[in-house]
């Protein structure tokens, strides 16, 4: 709505009053030429200088600016008001025309629905099953009607909502009893639904199926022998409404669009491409764009008024859904609960008057520049000597003692110039002495400062090196302590066994009769313990190197399918020796991964070896495949399973943890495997249903990126 701002009117009235007062005073004093300039100076609060050039320049500027001021105050607002009235009338006419077009178009669609409902073949199709002659005759008629008028679908249901005939060849809803358009139609009225998202995938404007397509239904009852026996429904192409809204041209930036009672746009915006580029909408503006001010997040002025059931306009301008200031007209259509909005950018609407204002202002500016140039020329001729003297003395007062006043006159100006030159020479001499002293002092301070900065930088560098060395020594010391603890803990048992075997054999050899059968037994105990010592020490060293991050891994492309098949072939003999079946399920042609081939094979071997150790009978399955952007490896056995709670499965990958300790294991194998996989940016985990139900160890490695080596 057009509104008047009382504060703005008061400001204009005050400005007009001041201008009128100033003009009257100037005209009253015009008969006394000697007082004109002084009155202007007082009125506009300009200092009264004695300079002739200043007086001429100020007077010329006032004469030049006065016509521009009159044009800005009187002519421009009048022209703008006239253009505003014309724009509002045009927007109002377009809005009313679009409203009539929409209402007439809806009535035509309702009439089409009634015509179909009155077709004599419809009752027969509703009462009889598919395949009758009436059915095919009616279907042919409906298809012809759909093609001629551009409907998306025409379908007929009985009074229970069961679908009897449809022109759609795709997915359809077989019973529509729960929809509002059906309930309204069987109650005896022709109904126009809200534009709402479809509940089944429908073909969109690009020929693709899309769920939630904007859909408009127009339904009407089928009456036979004075009873409602069913319903005819037209599914209307919503894009036809957008074509109607674009049928009226409204300038380069002008557009008309529809909104529903929730404030969503239900026709396509003229600026759809820009809205998509900025990510405001994905497919279309219909049911996607909530028409709000981008700055406040609230409905735009036109939408807010429409949703309140009002019609009106705004000729001053408000922000639209693009964040652009527009002029607008809006009208609410209560029959459809839709709003029609017509808008045009303020920049385009008021463009002509602004261009006129710019042209006139340019002309006046040129005239003003010409007058000011003349004033400067004549003022300069008259006041150059005094201005020159003033500028030189100002430079001297600011510290530039090299300046001297050059004058050829022998009057008071000349005498004043000579006095200034003598004073400047004296000051320049004393200032130079002071500068020399200051320069030497500054140089000394600068040199000392540089020395201090350099020493500070060296100290900081040494401190940083010492701190880094300390941290490295601390880390090495911690690793040493940890390794000593690990070695002492793990070596107790095998060393104790060796000691026990030696003690027993020493007692045996002291006997009169030596039992030679015990010699082999004690020798085996000693050899097994020494082997376990060697394996344990090697595993601890490997794990310590891995955890310290000092181990260097090769980076090479690895074909996991080839590597796994080779390892399975190697391990199959060990499985068969124990009476187990080792079965591979390796997918061929998988993409490569990047890593250290020997270390990855070490992990695969360790996992398969563990499965063989802890499985007494049954099968061991090895799997390899691709999952998303990773290669997944798995070893599944039918062995003893895992008795830990699932939340404690992670303990299996801790160093020296063994759920079932074995004489031939150090308890660090899985910890080493976990470190190797994580260094390769992978993940290792275990799955098990419980004790006696077997277990599955899995790890993933990322697929090599193109160009990786």
Task: Answer yes or no: is 82 within a domain.
Answer: no
Q: Both tokens of residue 157?
A: 């249901």
Domain limit, last residue, from 516, 533, 550: 550
Q: What is the mean pLDDT of residues 81-102?
A: 84
pLDDT tens figures, 275-297 = 999 888 988 999 999 999 988 99
Q: Does residue 491 register a pLDDT over 70?
A: no
Same domain, 591 and 690: yes
Q: Compute the C-alpha angle 449/450/454, nearest 5°.
A: 120
Query: Around Cβ 392, how many Cβ atoms within 10 Å?
Result: 20
Residue 129 banded pLDDT, cuts 50, 70, 90: low
> In terms of DSSP bridges, do strands 619-627 and 581-586 run parallel, antiparallel, or are they unpaired?
parallel
Q: What are the DSSP calls for 130-152, one per residue?
A: TTSHHHHHHHHHHHHHHHHHT-S
Q: What is the mean pLDDT of residues 478-487?
A: 56
Residue 27 banded pLDDT, cuts 50, 70, 90: very low
Is there a contact between 667 and 658 (Cβ–Cβ < 8 Å)? Answer: yes
Q: Across all residues in the chain, what is the average pLDDT?
A: 79
Q: In sequence order, which residues have a C-beta less than 8 Å from that of residue 130 and are 6 or more positions away? A: 164, 165
Same domain, 446 and 502: yes
- Res 696: pLDDT: 94
Q: Does residue 647 register a pLDDT over 80?
A: yes
Q: Does residue 571 register a pLDDT over 80?
A: yes
Same domain, 532 and 584: no
Task: Answer yes or no: is 13 within a domain.
Answer: no
Nearest C-alpha neighbor of 233 from the set 337, 355, 145: 145
Here the CATH number for the domain that contains residue 412 is: 1.10.287.130
Long-range contacts at 180-187 (CB < 8 A, ≥ 24 apart): 181/217, 181/218, 181/219, 181/233, 182/157, 182/219, 182/231, 182/233, 184/219, 185/219, 185/220, 185/221, 185/231, 185/232, 185/233, 186/159, 186/221, 186/228, 186/230, 186/231, 187/221, 187/228
What b/e readout covers 667-677, taking b as 16+ CB neighbours within 10 angstroms? bbbbbbbbbbb
* Higher local confidence (pLDDT), 372 or 629: 629
Residues paired with 222 in a beta bridge: 230
Quick one: CA dihedral 126, 131, 133, 139, positive or negative? positive
pTM, two decimal places: 0.45
**Percent of the chain predicted with pLDDT > 90:** 30
Residue 47 banded pLDDT, cuts 50, 70, 90: very low
- Res 484: pLDDT: 53
Mean pLDDT is lowest, of 203-207, 342-346, 424-428, 543-547, for 543-547
Task: Answer yes or no: is 71 within a domain.
Answer: no
Q: Does residue 518 register a pLDDT over 90?
A: no
Domain limit, last residue, from 550, 579, 597: 550
Long-range contacts at 660-663 (CB < 8 A, ≥ 24 apart): 660/614, 662/613, 663/528, 663/532
Residue 31 banded pLDDT, cuts 50, 70, 90: very low
Q: Does residue 34 register a pLDDT over 60?
A: no
Same domain, 541 and 560: no
pLDDT tens figures, 205-240 = 788 888 888 999 999 999 998 899 999 999 998 888
- Res 495: pLDDT: 61
Same domain, 211 and 250: no
In this structure, the chain runs to a length of 709
Q: Is 635 exposed, middle or buried (0-12, 13-18, 19+ CB in 10 A)?
A: buried
- Res 21: pLDDT: 58
pLDDT tens figures, 428-482 = 777 777 777 777 777 778 888 888 888 888 888 888 878 876 776 676 556 555 5
Domain limit, last residue, from 237, 262, 287: 237
Q: Both tokens of residue 59?
A: 């007077």
Is there a contact between 635 and 523 (Cβ–Cβ < 8 Å)? Answer: no
Q: What is the mean pLDDT of residues 584-590?
A: 92
Nearest C-alpha neighbor of 373 from the set 637, 706, 61: 61
Task: Answer yes or no: is 107 within a domain.
Answer: no
Residue 11 banded pLDDT, cuts 50, 70, 90: very low
Q: What is the mean pLDDT of residues 382-402?
A: 69
* Higher local confidence (pLDDT), 410 or 301: 301
Is there a contact between 117 and 221 (Cβ–Cβ < 8 Å)? Answer: yes
d(CA 677, CA 673) in angstroms, rounded, equals 6
Q: Does residue 192 register a pLDDT over 60?
A: yes
Is there a contact between 233 and 173 (Cβ–Cβ < 8 Å)? Answer: no
> In terms of DSSP bridges, do strands 312-319 and 581-586 run parallel, antiparallel, or are they unpaired?
unpaired
- 557: three-class secondary structure by DSSP: strand
Same domain, 436 and 528: yes
- Res 87: pLDDT: 79
d(CA 250, CA 526) in angstroms, rounded, equals 101
Q: What is the mean pLDDT of residues 661-685?
A: 79
- 458: three-class secondary structure by DSSP: helix
Q: What is the mean pLDDT of residues 41-70?
A: 61
Task: Answer yes or no: is 80 within a domain.
Answer: no
Task: Answer yes or no: is 110 within a domain.
Answer: no
SS3 per-residue string spanning 160-225 = CCEEEEECCCCCCCCECCCCHHHHHHHCCCCEECCCEECCCCEECCCCCEECCCEEEEEEEEEEEC
Q: What are the DSSP calls for 246-264, one per residue?
A: TSS--TTT-EEEEE-TTSB
pLDDT tens figures, 351-364 = 777 776 677 677 77
* Distance (Å) of CA 615 to CA 24, 115, 619: 115, 79, 8
d(CA 642, CA 659) in angstroms, rounded, equals 8
Residues paired with 153 in a beta bridge: 235
* Higher local confidence (pLDDT), 494 or 17: 494
Is there a contact between 332 and 93 (Cβ–Cβ < 8 Å)? Answer: no
Q: Does residue 190 register a pLDDT over 90?
A: yes
Q: Compute the C-alpha angle 412/414/416, nearest 5°.
A: 70
Quick one: CA dihedral 384, 388, 394, 397, positive or negative? negative
Q: In sequence order, which residues have a C-beta less than 8 Å from that of residue 58 and are 6 or more positions away? A: 37, 40, 41, 46
Task: Answer yes or no: is 18 within a domain.
Answer: no
Domain of residue 200, residue span: 118-237
**Residue 300 DSSP label:** P
Q: What is the mean pLDDT of residues 115-143?
A: 85
Same domain, 667 and 620: yes
**Percent of the chain predicted with pLDDT > 70:** 70
Q: In sequence order, which residues have a C-beta less than 8 Å from that of residue 709 and are 6 or more positions away? A: 555, 556, 557, 594
Residue 544 banded pLDDT, cuts 50, 70, 90: low
Is there a contact between 629 and 641 (Cβ–Cβ < 8 Å)? Answer: no
Q: Does residue 170 register a pLDDT over 70?
A: yes
Same domain, 461 and 537: yes
Domains contained in the chain, number: 4
* Distance (Å) of CA 533 to CA 398, 517, 550, 614: 91, 25, 24, 22
Q: Both tokens of residue 202?
A: 């429908």
Same domain, 155 and 213: yes
Task: Answer yes or no: is 43 within a domain.
Answer: no
* Higher local confidence (pLDDT), 405 or 615: 615
**Residue 651 DSSP label:** G
Cα distance between the two ends of the chain = 69
d(CA 122, CA 678) in angstroms, rounded, equals 71
- Res 10: pLDDT: 46
- Res 212: pLDDT: 87
Here the CATH number for the domain that contains residue 589 is: 3.30.565.10
Q: Both tokens of residue 609?
A: 């070896």
Q: What is the mean pLDDT of residues 48-56?
A: 58
Q: What is the mean pLDDT of residues 358-379?
A: 71
Same domain, 504 and 636: no
Is there a contact between 345 and 353 (Cβ–Cβ < 8 Å)? Answer: no
Here the CATH number for the domain that contains residue 339 is: 3.30.450.20
Q: What are phi and psi of 559, to 5 degrees?
A: -90, 100
Same domain, 287 and 220: no
- Res 6: pLDDT: 38
Q: What is the mean pLDDT of residues 540-566?
A: 76
**Residue 73 DSSP label:** I
- Res 562: pLDDT: 93
Same domain, 565 and 538: no
């Amino acid at each position: 709505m057009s509104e008047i701002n009382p504060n703005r009117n008061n400001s204009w009235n005050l400005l007009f009053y001041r201008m009128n007062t100033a003009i009257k005073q100037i005209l009253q004093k015009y008969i006394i030429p000697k007082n004109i300039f002084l009155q202007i100076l007082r009125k506009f609060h300009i200092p009264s200088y004695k300079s002739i050039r200043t007086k001429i320049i100020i007077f010329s500027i006032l004469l030049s600016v006065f016509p521009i001021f009159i044009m800005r105050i009187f002519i421009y607002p009048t022209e703008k008001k006239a253009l505003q009235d014309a724009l509002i009338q045009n927007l109002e006419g377009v809005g009313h025309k679009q409203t009539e077009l929409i209402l007439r178009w809806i009535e035509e669609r309702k009439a089409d629905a009634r015509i179909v409902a009155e077709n004599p073949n419809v009752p027969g199709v509703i009462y009889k099953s598919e395949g009758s002659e009436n059915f095919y005759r009616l279907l042919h008629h409906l298809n012809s009607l759909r093609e001629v008028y551009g409907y998306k679908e025409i379908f007929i249901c009985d009074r229970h909502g069961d679908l009897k005939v449809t022109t759609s060849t795709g997915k359809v809803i077989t019973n529509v009893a729960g929809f509002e358009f059906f309930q309204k139609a069987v109650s005896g009225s022709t109904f126009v639904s809200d534009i709402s998202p479809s509940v089944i995938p429908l073909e969109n404007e690009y020929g693709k199926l899309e769920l939630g397509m904007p859909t408009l239904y127009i339904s009407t009852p089928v009456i036979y022998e004075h009873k409602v026996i069913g319903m005819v429904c037209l599914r209307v192409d919503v894009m036809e409404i957008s074509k109607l809204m674009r049928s009226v041209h409204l300038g380069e930036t002008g557009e008309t669009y529809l909104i529903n009672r929730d404030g969503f746009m239900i026709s396509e915006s003229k600026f759809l491409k820009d809205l998509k580029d900025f990510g405001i909408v994905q497919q279309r503006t219909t049911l996607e764009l909530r028409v709000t001010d981008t700055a406040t997040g609230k409905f735009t002025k036109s939408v807010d008024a429409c949703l309140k059931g009002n019609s009106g306009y705004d000729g001053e301008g408000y922000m639209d859904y693009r964040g652009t200031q527009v002029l607008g007209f809006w009208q609410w259509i209560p029959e459809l609960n839709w709003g029609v909005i017509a808008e045009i950018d303020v920049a385009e609407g008021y463009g002509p008057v602004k261009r006129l204002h710019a042209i006139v202002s340019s002309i006046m500016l040129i005239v003003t520049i010409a007058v000011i140039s003349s004033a400067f020329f004549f003022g300069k001729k008259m006041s150059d000597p005094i201005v020159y003297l003033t500028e030189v003395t100002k430079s001297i007062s600011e510290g530039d003692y090299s300046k001297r006043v050059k004058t050829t006159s022998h009057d008071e100006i000349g005498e004043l110039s000579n006095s200034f030159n003598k004073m400047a020479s004296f000051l320049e001499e004393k200032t130079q002495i002071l500068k020399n002293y200051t320069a030497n002092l500054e140089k000394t301070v600068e040199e000392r400062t540089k020395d201090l900065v350099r020493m500070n930088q060296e100290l900081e560098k040494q401190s940083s090196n010492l701190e880094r060395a300390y941290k490295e020594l601390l880390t090495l010391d911690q690793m040493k302590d940890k390794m000593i603890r690990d070695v002492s803990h793990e070596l107790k048992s095998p060393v104790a066994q060796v000691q026990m075997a030696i003690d027993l054999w020493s007692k045996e050899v002291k006997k009169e009769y030596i039992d030679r059968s015990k010699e082999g037994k004690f020798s085996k105990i000693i050899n097994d313990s020494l082997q376990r010592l060697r394996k344990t020490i090697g595993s601890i060293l490997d794990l310590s190197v891995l955890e310290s991050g000092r181990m260097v891994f090769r980076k090479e492309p690895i074909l996991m399918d080839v590597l796994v098949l080779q390892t399975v072939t190697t391990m199959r003999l060990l499985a068969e020796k124990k009476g187990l079946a080792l079965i591979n399920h390796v997918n061929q042609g998988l993409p490569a991964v990047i890593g250290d081939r020997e270390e990855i094979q070490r992990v695969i071997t360790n996992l398969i070896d563990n499965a063989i150790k802890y499985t007494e009978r049954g099968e061991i399955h090895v799997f390899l495949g691709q999952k998303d952007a990773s290669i997944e490896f798995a070893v599944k056995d039918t062995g003893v399973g895992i008795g830990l709670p699932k939340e404690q499965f992670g303990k299996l990958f801790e160093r020296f943890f063994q759920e079932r300790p074995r004489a031939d294991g150090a308890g660090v194998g899985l910890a080493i495997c976990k470190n190797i996989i994580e260094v390769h940016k992978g993940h290792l985990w275990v799955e098990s249903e419980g004790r006696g139900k077997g277990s599955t160890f899995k790890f993933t490695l990322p697929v090599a990126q193109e160009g990786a080596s």
